[in-house]
Structure 1
Amino acid sequence: MRVVVKHLGIPLEGLDKEPFELDLEEGDTIRDLVDQLMKQHPHLTPKHFQTTSFMIDGKKADYKSILKDNERVLLMRILGGG
């Protein structure tokens, strides 16, 4: 299964700023996607994702959200509060 990943906000070092495709297994979740990103980019840690919100095809998602083939996942890292 393949999903398209894009991130906004504070950059995740090493990730392409343009949308990129990521191969996952059927039934994988956002948690699995994050784990895959950390495997591919060992400098990324769970701390990098503590302030990240997720959307799947424009709908709010969380770590338990199940992904489907060809979905678009948006990682939004919080810039600041106020």
Structure 2
Amino acid sequence: MTTPSTLSIKNIPDDLLRRLRNRASHNHRSLQGELLAMLDHYVGSAPLSLTELSTHIQRLGLATHGDSTAMVREDRDGR
């Protein structure tokens, strides 16, 4: 197992630091915990493949349009 690294951010504007602290408090986290959660969310993991994305959409029960040709025709004919 690797040792966690340390990251330092300098020259943070006071207003930004205040907003980060407010966000951390709102989410019941320490400032460090909030920053780690934000980094994890925005950096995320590897993007999903098209197959994984399709499977995820189907599991959510979202409607998909299998044939875009019909949609293009409908749009064109509606003009």
TM-score (norm: length of structure 2): 0.24
More helix by share: 2
* Larger Rg over CA atoms: 2
Larger RCO of the pair (alpha carbons < 8 Å, separation 6+): 1
- TM-score when scaled to structure 1? 0.23
